[in-house]
Chain A
Amino acid sequence: MTMPFYVAPEQVMKDRAEYAQKGIARGRSLVATTYADGILIVAENPSRSLHKVSEIYDRIAFAGVGKYNEFDQLRVAGIRHADTKGFAFSREDVDARSLANLYAQFLGTVFTHEMKPLEVEILVAELGSDGRQDQLYHVAYEGTITDEDRFAVLGGDAESLAERFGQSFQDGWTLAAALGACRRTLEGPDRRLGAQDLEVAILGRGDARRAFRRINGTELAHLLSDDADDTDGADASGEEPSAAASAPPPDAPGEGDPAPG
């Protein structure tokens, strides 16, 4: 029997972290932000069917970056957890904080005990109600959990993207303005992203029980062009109620109905 070489734990952890970071950096980034009527999540994703952003429960959304199969497994586990909890107790008892903690525990355990860490970063977003604030829980590959109440950026170059996004962030901005800022953050100085490169979903405040809704097709194109008009005019100031009031076009999917596919 051969003795394994001794490797310092610091080195093991460093190697694993580096491995996971590299895997995550290969994928594309994602921005989530609060806006006047809810939470907006925008991911750079050319695929129409392999989603990065999904519904977990009535007021909870999930988003992941990194390796698709790994975060999708976590997404399904989250839906299972939320539905089981809601069935055994009540729908009101399902909350994002406990789910984010479970994700953090799982990612942390895998990071320390398994051969290969998961190459993912995930976001659990919860729409606030009854005076509770909107919450964005950001869980990193090694199980570090941070909670934000304004915006979160996930992905390889998250720090510089977050800095860029933070400069344009405004409290209570409109959906079109927030979407435009998310797009500009993702595209950076030397790229242009259109409706076909973005996956957009919201948790919208309203009467519908299920707050999650995807924004795509003409509605998305419409919102993106709305924002382009705003920035053409002048520096986007606080008073621009027109963009907020602009209703989705008639062929938009109904409230609370996640578009199939």
Chain B
Amino acid sequence: MALPLFSPGDDPGPSFAAVLRRADPQALPAQLVGGASAATGDVAVRHGTTVVALRFVDGVVMAGDRRATEGNFIAHRSMEKVFPADRHSAVAIAGAAGPAVQMVKLFQTQLEHYEKVEGIALSLEGKANQLGQMVREHLPMAYQGLVVVPLFAGFDLRRSQGRIFTYDVTGGHYEETDHAATGSGGRDARTTVKLGWHPELSKAAAIELAVTALYNAADEDSATGGPDLVRGIYPVVATVTETGYEQVPADEVAERFADVVARGIGGRAS
């Protein structure tokens, strides 16, 4: 590896992806351009499933179940789908797990790279836009069945409020006012959140609502994992507030689940 120096007219600026393209192109996430169509139809690819985000008074809560599937098999029981993007934002992924995790890694590096080179972090809007560009570059793979749909949320320091952005495969991003969910169980999760959400949600209530949404999604959707009491695996829940990204400890998530179950949600057998 040589020192990556560029002439002033040819400088890639603060974009890490642009640097990588010149300095080490093999490390860039692969683009399956051309080749066999519908190739992934009979190839088992790992998929991550349901993620949900919602606003509360001090910021946003983001949660994701832990299951990854390969066709009708369970590929992984403790996959993480919620990641810190930087200090004041979080990204959650649904869709083909391999490219999604790579995209998150590139996105995290990109945000930190920009901050170090420029000496100041990107605005939340700027971060959302960056992620949109990455999803758009992924479009050829989406056409081949490797769809990646992230969910982005963060605390906007300039506006002093939490904000949530959703994406489609073309890289289009849309700001959600209060809550969003995506993935195979997203529909069920969204319904739960919609019914329970109100503007004065406290942090604890918001965590409980997110957890309930995932529980209901797992109840209806086979690809979404519920709480695994046998192995002690619970969804990853994180909050982003003015003080930054913080993952909710597993014990606390377990307690919230216990509350949900104690309320007798989902009805009884027989």
Q: Footprint of B on A, CB under 8 Å?
A: 49, 51, 54-56, 73-74, 76-81, 83-88, 98, 102-103, 105-106, 254, 257-258, 260-261
Contacts and interface: CB of A to CB of B under 8 A. Distances in A.
Interface in B110-131: 112-113, 115-117, 119-121
Contacts, number: 71
Contacts of B112: 83
B243 A254 contact: yes
Contacts of B117: 76, 79
The 8 closest A-B pairs by CB, nearest first: A88-B27, A260-B120, A80-B4, A102-B3, A80-B19, A79-B116, A77-B3, A83-B113
B161 to A, nearest CB: 19
B24 to A, nearest CB: 5
Contacts of A51: 119
Interface in B178-226: none
Nearest to B105: A87
A107 to B, nearest CB: 10
A87 B120 contact: no
A113 to B, nearest CB: 14
B4 A81 contact: yes
B134 interface: no
A257 B115 CA distance: 10
Interface residues of B, number: 26
Contacts of A84: 1, 4, 19-20, 23-24, 27
B23 A80 contact: yes
9 contacts: A77-B3, A78-B3, A80-B16, A81-B3, A83-B19, A83-B112, A84-B23, A87-B109, A258-B115
Interface string B1-19: 1111100000000001001
B145 interface: no
A79 B6 CA distance: 13
A75 to B, nearest CB: 9
A254 B2 CA distance: 34
B136 interface: no
Contacts of A56: 116
A73 B20 contact: no
Interface of B: 1-5, 16, 19-20, 23-24, 26-27, 87, 105-106, 109, 112-113, 115-117, 119-121, 243-244
B109 A86 contact: yes
A22 to B, nearest CB: 24
A73 B113 CA distance: 15
Nearest to B87: A257
A170 B99 CA distance: 51
A77 B6 CA distance: 9
Contacts of B243: 254
Contacts of B20: 84, 87
A83 B23 CA distance: 11
A55 B1 CA distance: 20
A61 to B, nearest CB: 11
B87 A83 contact: no
Contact of A260 (B24, B27, B106, B119): B119
A79 B1 contact: no
Contact of A85 (B1, B16, B120): B1
Contact of B109 (A83, A102, A261): A83
A84 B117 CA distance: 13
A213 to B, nearest CB: 12
B104 to A, nearest CB: 12
Contacts of B120: 260-261
Contacts of B3: 74, 77-78, 81, 102-103, 105-106
A78 B5 CA distance: 9
Contacts of B1: 81, 84-85, 98, 102
Contacts of B4: 77, 80-81, 84
A174 B167 CA distance: 49
A81 B119 CA distance: 17
B262 to A, nearest CB: 34
